[in-house]
A and B are shown apart, each in its own frame.
Chain A
C-alpha cells in the first residue's frame, strides 16, 4: 500500500518540478509571442494592401499605424488603407475558408472602388508542405495584384487573364479552396464595408 502511495507522491512531485520551469518560460516569452502574432497580422495586411513591407518589426508597426485604420463592418473588423495624403486608397479583409487539412485564413486587399484586388496573403494555412503549402510562395501571392474576380484557375505557369490565376501543380484541391475563398470575398465585399 505504501508503495502505491509513494508512486503517486513521486509522480506529483516530478510533475510539479518539471512543469514549473515550462510555465516560467511560457510567461517570460508570452509578450514576445503576442507581439509576433501582431507583426504577422500587420505584415499580411500591408502586403495585401499592395504596400512594400519593411523587414524590421518596429517599422512594420510604424507603417501600419500611419497608413491603416481598423474599422468594424457588418462582417467583422476590416482595415481601411489610406494613401500618403490620408485619402482612402483601399480595403483589406480577413477571410477564412476550408482548406485541405485545416482552415485557410487570408488577408484580401481591394482597391478604393472595391473592384480589383491589390493583393492576397495567407495568414494561416496547414496545406501539404511542398504541394498545397506552396500557396505561401511569392509567385502565387504576387499574381493577384490588379486582378478582378470572380476567378477561375489555369495550370501553373500558363498565362492567366484578368479573372484567372495560376493554380499550384499537384494541389488542385488547395487551389480550388483558395478560389472559393477569394470568390466569396469578391461576392460579399460590397456588404462587408457597410
Chain B
C-alpha cells in the first residue's frame, strides 16, 4: 500500500481506486510514455503537412482530438457487437463520420478557416493515430476510458505539433498565426515552410525526446 501516489490518499473513500488508476494511466500514456507522435511515430504525414502555419495546426489538432475521442467512444460502445473480421471497415466508417461532421461544420460556420485548411480536415480520416487508438484501446475498453484515451492521444499529438508549428512558422515565415513577429531584418528560412524542413525538425525532436528524456525515465 505504501507505493500508492499521494493524490489517491486524499481522495474520498467512496471512489474506487482501480478505475481511477486506469483513467489516470490512460491519460498519462497518450501524453507521455506512449505518445502517438514521438514514441509510436504515427500521424507523421499530417505532422509534416499542417505545421507550417500555426492557425492550421490549431484547428487540425482540435479536429483530431474530437475525432479520436468520439471514434474511440463509438467503437467502445459497439465493441461487443462488432464482428472481428469486419472491425476495420466499421472503424473506418465511424472515424469518417466524426471527421466529416467537423468538415461540414467548419464549412458552414467558419468558412474562412475551412478554405485555408482545404483538404487537410478530411485527411484526419487517414490519420493513423485515430485508427490506432480504436484498434488498440476502443475495442477492448469501456466508453469512459476510451474517451479519456482518445483525448489524451489527441493532446499528445497536439502539443508536439504546436511546438513544431511554432518553430516552423517563426523561422520559415517570421510570423506566428499570420502575425509578423520578426522584423524586416529576418531572412525567412524557406526550408522550414517546405515538408523537408518539418522532417528535420521532427527527427531532431524525436531524437532529443527519446535520447534524453525517455532514456532517463528508463533508468
Show the binding face of A for B, using Cβ within 8 Å: 3, 6-7, 10-11, 14-15, 18-19, 21-22, 25-26, 29, 32-33, 36, 39-40, 126, 128-131, 169-170
Contact = CB atoms under 8 A, between A and B. Distances in A.
Contact of B53 (A10, A21, A33, A130): A130
B149 to A, nearest CB: 21
Contacts of A40: 111, 115
B177 to A, nearest CB: 13
Contacts of B116: 129
Contact of A10 (B83, B111, B173): B83
Interface in B75-110: 78, 81-83, 85-86, 89-90, 93-94, 97, 100-101, 104-105, 107-109
A170 B191 CA distance: 9
B76 to A, nearest CB: 14
Contacts of B56: 129
B52 interface: yes
| Secondary structure class of chain B's binding surface, majority of residues | helix
Contact of B104 (A18, A26, A169): A26
22 contacts: A11-B90, A14-B90, A15-B93, A18-B74, A18-B94, A22-B97, A22-B101, A26-B104, A29-B104, A33-B108, A33-B111, A126-B118, A128-B193, A128-B194, A129-B53, A129-B193, A130-B52, A130-B53, A131-B190, A131-B193, A169-B190, A170-B190
Given A7-B83, A129-B116, A129-B193, 8 more contacts: A14-B94, A15-B93, A21-B97, A22-B101, A25-B101, A25-B105, A29-B109, A32-B109
Nearest to A30: B108
B172 interface: yes
Contacts of B74: 18
The 10 lowest CB-CB distance pairs between A and B, nearest first, are: A130-B193, A29-B108, A36-B111, A170-B190, A32-B108, A130-B52, A18-B97, A7-B83, A7-B86, A33-B108
A14 B85 CA distance: 15
B111 A131 contact: no
B82 A10 contact: yes
Nearest to A171: B190
Contacts of B101: 21-22, 25
Contact of B78 (A6, A14, A170): A14
Given A14-B90, A18-B93, A129-B56, A36 B108 contact: yes
A36 B115 CA distance: 11
A16 to B, nearest CB: 11
B18 to A, nearest CB: 32
